[in-house]
A and B are shown apart, each in its own frame.
Chain A
Amino acid sequence: MGDVILSVKDLNLKFDLRGRVLHAIRGVSLDLYKGESLAIVGESGSGKSVFTKCFMGLNDLNGHIDSGEILYDGKDLAKITQEKDWLPIRGGEIAMVMQDPMTSLNPLKTIGAQIEEAILLHQKIDRHGAHAQMLSVLKDVGIDEPERRARQYPHEFSGGMRQRVVIAIAVACRPKILICDEPTTALDVTIQAQILSLIKELRDRLGLTCVYITHDLGVVANVADRIAVMYAGDIVEIGLCEEIFYDPRHPYTWALLSSLPQLGVRGQPLFSIKGTPPNLYTEIRGDAFAPRNPYALEIDFVERPPYFDVSPTHKARTWLLDPRAPKIDPPVNIRAIRAKGSANP
């Protein structure tokens, strides 16, 4: 594994909502390596989006980092309070691709102007230079006839093409880290595959470090080197892509995998996770997933499990990995992925 480009240490993020405090991120530590693709997977409300927004200072004003640090390039991003200190980082060093290409572009400006705006803001370059760079970026993301397309407005583009434009804006300033927040959820399956391979290609060509945020484990098998599974503001399991798919250890990862329709058997009900995610207004005791976990042990309700190492790259926060815990096998359909994987290496 390469050098650490961004390091998060015991991050706690809290939101003040009308006098009540919502503890959105509960002590997350994470190292992001240079050049890798990390996927953060979780249900809605698990905190995967707000977590990455911390890297860019994009959270709403009622959110504040309670404790912890985010180390990037010798600076602690968690300490930044002035909006102007964020500006060189946001877009220049760390860029983001939002979920819905229909709403993330300005409908009143041409595509070209929107990309040039980003270039002019972050680089010491004149208009002509920015224009040339804009055209080359459009070509980079696979848009034909960039000269003509640059003069068009977002409504003249299809959903997949708009997402390409959003990606062009994000990579125009050659950021080091690209955060893709559900980049394909609003898109068709065929377009989704194209966009994912585009991001992958750009990562290799421009040497980006990618962070994908998604709720769909099926999508990330293709693109991620490592996967972090997030639940209730905490990373419950993290490991290499193969380790998460072929050898998942946390019951929540099992549940997420089992509920994929790809693994369902026709005529039988598809596995679904019972209950609802925990209320983050109240302090969570023990393992946050315990109330919904059919494999929960008594200790899960009392004490928060620490990380247990499965391999040097794979760790999970569940008491099931404690040597004293009873031996529990993952559900059948998950063992099936493993069998399939080992059959054709």
Chain B
Amino acid sequence: MNEKLLQVKNISVDFGSGRKKVRAVNDVSFDIYRGETFGLVGESGSGKTTIGRAIIRIHPVSAGEIFFEDQRISGKITSQQDKELTRKIQMIFQDPMASLNERAKVDYIVSEGIWSDRSISPARRREMVAEALDEVGLLPEFASRFPHEFSGGQRQRIGIARALIMKPEFIIADEPISALDVSIRAQVLNLMSELQKKRGLTYLFISHDLSVMRFICDRIAVIHKGKLVELCETEKLFRHPLHPYTRALLSAVPQPDPDSEKNKVLTTYDPSMHDYSSDLPVWAELEDGHFVYGNQKELDSYREMLRY
């Protein structure tokens, strides 16, 4: 559990240039250990998806470095490395209705990633598709059908099979269950944790919903406007949220309990509460594995909170 699979070091991602430049991700660092599920939570526009896409090399980073298995994967890499990475890092997308090619059969959708590998014969390829489908709980016969013949949950399983066929080590799941019904959500979450146990997968789980993350993630990083504001082990984060933004997010999680819900006070986060004019904020580790972003005065008050 202590081997660092992925290291993100001070990365920034910019879009546009000149006056139109937008910094979507600003000086973000974290490590993901092998075999864990790392959660990235934030509201829309916070840059959580951009980080996931920067790791899988869809967006180039404008500063900082990303290491995967101690090899630098940001910036220029050899085509050999690139091939290797495409196999090892895979992605599951949010909307299973939009992320599958409507005009291709499941067979092709699932096997597209291995198509370029000439050493795999067509017969072997079909075998691999059947294996991948079986692994996500679909029947091998489904290979000859089109995506529109499936329900939302089944489509998301196809999306997962498409990632699994590459035998990846690391999967970036970008809001994999946000578009699904509550009852189907449970099935997909169970499938993901089952695969993790069986294959020893490592997940980066991107979501805006903390209630789901509490259930599946080992550690959670909270991101706001392109900056990490807090990173901590899941249960600790729920018990001792320090940063005001984390507290606001936690207060918004709906609870299936009418009494506590009806008396709930919604905490809102106002970034102007921070006074960073003279005392500059830093990314500091307050206790073992618990990082918070704040200036010295805030950090002191957070330490005070931890004591209780």
A158 cross-chain contacts in B, Cβ below 8 A: 44-45
Closest to B213 in A: A261
Q: How far is the CA of A256 from the CA of B256 in the complex (A)?
A: 11
Q: How far is the CA of A191 from the CA of B252 in the complex (A)?
A: 8
Within 8 A of A (CB), among B220-237: 234
User: Which of B183, B184, B214, B255 has the most chain A CB atoms closer than 10 A to its own CB?
Assistant: B183
Q: How far is the CA of A263 from the CA of B152 in the complex (A)?
A: 23
- Contact indicator A262/B256 (Cβ below 8 Å): yes
Closest to B193 in A: A269
Q: What is the CB-to-nearest-CB distance from B224 to chain A, in angstroms, rounded to a whole number?
A: 10
Interface string of B37-48 (1 = CB under 8 A from A): 000000111000
Asked if A344 CB lies within 8 Å of chain B CBs, one says yes
Given contacts A245-B258, A264-B215, contact A255 B249 (CB under 8 A): no
Q: How far is the CA of A198 from the CA of B186 in the complex (A)?
A: 29
Asked if A242 CB lies within 8 Å of chain B CBs, one says yes
**Interface residue tally for chain B (C-beta within 8 Å):** 41
A217 cross-chain contacts in B, Cβ below 8 A: 182, 256
Asked if A29 CB lies within 8 Å of chain B CBs, one says no
Interface string of B256-276 (1 = CB under 8 A from A): 111111101010000000000
Picked from B190, B194, B234, B258, the residue with its CB within 8 Å of the CB of A242 is: B258
Q: Which segment of A20-28, A143-151, A270-278 sits at the interface? A: A270-278
A193 cross-chain contacts in B, Cβ below 8 A: 251-252, 254, 266
A255 cross-chain contacts in B, Cβ below 8 A: 183
- Contact indicator B190/A218 (Cβ below 8 Å): no
- Contact indicator B260/A344 (Cβ below 8 Å): yes
Given contacts A270-B189, A272-B187, A272-B190, contact A241 B181 (CB under 8 A): no
Q: What is the CB-to-nearest-CB distance from B99 to chain A, in angstroms, rounded to a whole number?
A: 16
Picked from B181, B193, B251, the residue with its CB within 8 Å of the CB of A43 is: B181
Q: What is the CB-to-nearest-CB distance from A345 to chain B, in angstroms, rounded to a whole number?
A: 7
Q: What is the CB-to-nearest-CB distance from A239 to chain B, in angstroms, rounded to a whole number?
A: 11
Asked if B211 CB lies within 8 Å of chain A CBs, one says yes
Q: How far is the CA of A215 from the CA of B178 in the complex (A)?
A: 12
B interface: dominant SS: helix
Asked if B133 CB lies within 8 Å of chain A CBs, one says no
Q: What is the CB-to-nearest-CB distance from B49 to chain A, in angstroms, rounded to a whole number?
A: 13
B189 cross-chain contacts in A, Cβ below 8 A: 261, 270
- Contact indicator B252/A241 (Cβ below 8 Å): no
Q: What is the CB-to-nearest-CB distance from B170 to chain A, in angstroms, rounded to a whole number?
A: 21
Q: How far is the CA of A260 from the CA of B260 in the complex (A)?
A: 17
- Contact indicator A269/B190 (Cβ below 8 Å): yes
Interface string of A78-121 (1 = CB under 8 A from B): 00000000000000000000000000000000000000000000
Closest to A224 in B: B258
Q: How far is the CA of A266 from the CA of B217 in the complex (A)?
A: 9
Q: Told that A193-B254, A242-B259, A272-B187 touch, could you supply 8 new A-B pairs with CB distance under 8 A? A: A43-B182, A189-B254, A190-B248, A192-B252, A218-B211, A256-B183, A262-B211, A263-B256
Query: Which residues on A are within 8 Å of B, measured CB to CB?
Result: 43-44, 158-159, 188-194, 197, 215-219, 221-222, 241-242, 245-246, 255-257, 259-264, 266, 269-273, 276, 337, 340-341, 344-345
29 pairs, A vs B, C-beta closer than 8 Å? A43-B182, A43-B183, A44-B152, A159-B44, A188-B43, A188-B208, A190-B208, A190-B248, A190-B249, A193-B254, A215-B182, A215-B183, A216-B254, A217-B256, A221-B255, A222-B254, A222-B264, A256-B182, A260-B182, A261-B214, A262-B254, A266-B216, A269-B193, A270-B190, A271-B186, A272-B184, A272-B186, A272-B190, A273-B186
